[in-house]
Amino acid sequence: MNINRPRGTTDIYGENIEYRNYISNTARKIFEIFNYKEIITPAFEHTTVFSRSIGEGSDIVSKEMYTFQDRKGRLLTLRPEGTASIARAVIENKMYVENLPLKLFYEGNMFRYERPQKGRMREFWQIGVEAIGTDNPIIDVEIMWILNSLFEKLGFRKLVFKVNSIGCNKCREKFLIEFKRYLEPRIEKLCDDCRNRFDKNAMRIFDCKKGECINILKDSPEIYSFLCDDCKDKFKEILECLEELKIDYVIDKTLVRGFDYYTGTVFEIISEDLKSEQNALGGGGRYDNLLKELGGPDLPATGFAIGVDRIIMLMKQLKLSYKKDRELPRIYIIAMDRKCQFHSLKVLKYLRDSGIVCDINFNNRGIKKEIKLAEKNGYSFVIIIGENEIKTGNLVLKDIRKFKQYSINWENEKEKIMEFIGESV
């Protein structure tokens, strides 16, 4: 019997939970400041939601989806990314009837059948943002601004913000003719995947990390030179705004994104401290045709997604800490036996009702060991409750970091606990 977790998945606990919550809370604060509202969609959708939007020619749809039939024979897929589900939800719930643009964010686990390695999992977590209902370049800038603020707040300093425009359908059509003309005589030298992409989605050849394909692309035409005036102007405006906001970027004319639904401005944030195959921490761009392609109204949109697991990996590698905004004083109660534990209940209740983080020893390991454990677990105070304390009604509050202690009569002066711990903050 196999009771291990499936390959490419992970159990998240301990320090990793602290990191995750820190990233999530930091992101949520920024989303609130920029006025983005949360949306939660199902973890699985009808398969067509993804195949129609991400594209049959993409790696995800062609080989990475977790697809299954339910008991009624419906074809369902565990979400491999967030955008398609949100577009589906916006259409289905007619959310576009409200004020546009819709500014939404999400957080959730995604599933892709990839070859697991460091920073590449089969179940991983993303946080993302979508702005639906305007083609104003300022919203592209806002999306990038959020992404940049988030990484700055998390303490990253040396990330590279790559931007490019892959143009509208018209620019891409012209480009693809020239691009395929260039590739045709070289097609035999492309890897198997790229030969496949040549017919289904040639732009994706730019995504290939294999040496021979990269070499072939060195002299290839670039989409950038095929941009129509409108796409060029929009891209220029975006770059000017980024400069105004002092957001550093580099133009990467080979940057395309893995899904078919992207149009116009695309971007990616990468770390040079990570191996090149897994160095992207997040990315996104415009997807002006997606809602229409899913049967909804013709609404332009833009968004990004970041990979939480990869960010944690890099934070640890760079020794960036997860900081709590304000470390609240924590009290650990050491009760000497079961009877003392009973007497501790009123103290625990008083402290917990007052919003103080506190806990009690459930096993008795002796005072010395308990104090050590309290210190290790981040408690700054202990209260010891033994026979004597029950008899006299006096408690001893010990500040274990400053080696101070205070005697407090429980009946007459329990509020003094708050005063004493307040002084230590």
Chain positions contacting ligand AMP, by CB under 6 A: 81, 112, 114, 119-121, 124, 126, 258, 280-283, 305-307, 309-310
Query: C-alpha angle 88/92/98, rounded to 5°?
Result: 105
Of the candidates 32, 33, 24, which has an alpha carbon nearest to the alpha carbon of residue 107?
Answer: 24
Q: Could you tell me whether strands 301-307 and 280-286 are parallel, antiparallel, or unpaired per DSSP bridges?
A: antiparallel
In the bound state with ligand AMP, the residue whose beta carbon lies nearer, of 66 and 96, is 66
Query: Residue 128 CB, nearest distance to ligand AMP (Å)?
Result: 8
Query: Residue 309 CB, nearest distance to ligand AMP (Å)?
Result: 5
In the bound state with ligand AMP, the residue whose beta carbon lies nearer, of 101 and 307, is 307
**In this chain, which residue has its C-beta nearest to ligand AMP?**
307
Query: Residue 65 CB, nearest distance to ligand AMP (Å)?
Result: 13
Of the candidates 80, 106, 108, 14, which has an alpha carbon nearest to the alpha carbon of residue 316?
Answer: 14
Could you tell me if 328 and 380 are in contact, meaning their C-beta atoms sit under 8 angstroms apart? no
In the bound state with ligand AMP, the residue whose beta carbon lies nearer, of 116 and 221, is 116
Peptide bond into 80 cis (omega under 30): no
Measured in residues, the chain has a length of: 425
Q: Could you tell me whether strands 67-69 and 263-271 are parallel, antiparallel, or unpaired per DSSP bridges?
A: unpaired
Q: Could you tell me whether strands 357-360 and 330-335 are parallel, antiparallel, or unpaired per DSSP bridges?
A: parallel
Judge residue 392's burial from the number of C-beta atoms within 10 Å of its C-beta, 0-12 exposed, 13-18 middle, 19 or more buried.
exposed
In the bound state with ligand AMP, the residue whose beta carbon lies nearer, of 284 and 329, is 284
Query: Residue 17 CB, nearest distance to ligand AMP (Å)?
Result: 17
Measured between alpha carbons, how far is residue 389 from residues 21, 53, 350, 386 in Å? Answer: 39, 68, 17, 5
In the bound state with ligand AMP, the residue whose beta carbon lies nearer, of 128 and 300, is 128
Q: Could you tell me whether strands 250-251 and 159-165 are parallel, antiparallel, or unpaired per DSSP bridges?
A: parallel
Of the candidates 379, 330, 377, which has an alpha carbon nearest to the alpha carbon of residue 356?
Answer: 330
Query: Residue 151 CB, nearest distance to ligand AMP (Å)?
Result: 12
Of the candidates 209, 43, 9, which has an alpha carbon nearest to the alpha carbon of residue 116?
Answer: 9
Could you tell me if 50 and 60 are in contact, meaning their C-beta atoms sit under 8 angstroms apart? yes
In the bound state with ligand AMP, the residue whose beta carbon lies nearer, of 205 and 421, is 205
In the bound state with ligand AMP, the residue whose beta carbon lies nearer, of 114 and 375, is 114
Could you tell me if 62 and 33 are in contact, meaning their C-beta atoms sit under 8 angstroms apart? no
In the bound state with ligand AMP, the residue whose beta carbon lies nearer, of 213 and 280, is 280
Query: Residue 161 CB, nearest distance to ligand AMP (Å)?
Result: 13
Query: Residue 396 CB, nearest distance to ligand AMP (Å)?
Result: 50
Place of tokens 């332009």: 300
In the bound state with ligand AMP, the residue whose beta carbon lies nearer, of 112 and 234, is 112
In the bound state with ligand AMP, the residue whose beta carbon lies nearer, of 114 and 135, is 114
Amino acid letter at 60? I
Q: How many whole angstroms separate alpha carbon 340 and alpha carbon 411?
A: 17
| 250: β partners | 162
Query: Residue 363 CB, nearest distance to ligand AMP (Å)?
Result: 39
- The total of other beta-carbon atoms located within 10 Å of residue 424's CB is 12
Measure the N-to-C terminal CA separation of the chain; round to a whole number of Å: 52
Of the candidates 178, 148, 130, 179, which has an alpha carbon nearest to the alpha carbon of residue 288?
Answer: 130
Query: Residue 155 CB, nearest distance to ligand AMP (Å)?
Result: 17
Query: Residue 367 CB, nearest distance to ligand AMP (Å)?
Result: 46
In the bound state with ligand AMP, the residue whose beta carbon lies nearer, of 268 and 288, is 268
Query: Residue 83 CB, nearest distance to ligand AMP (Å)?
Result: 8
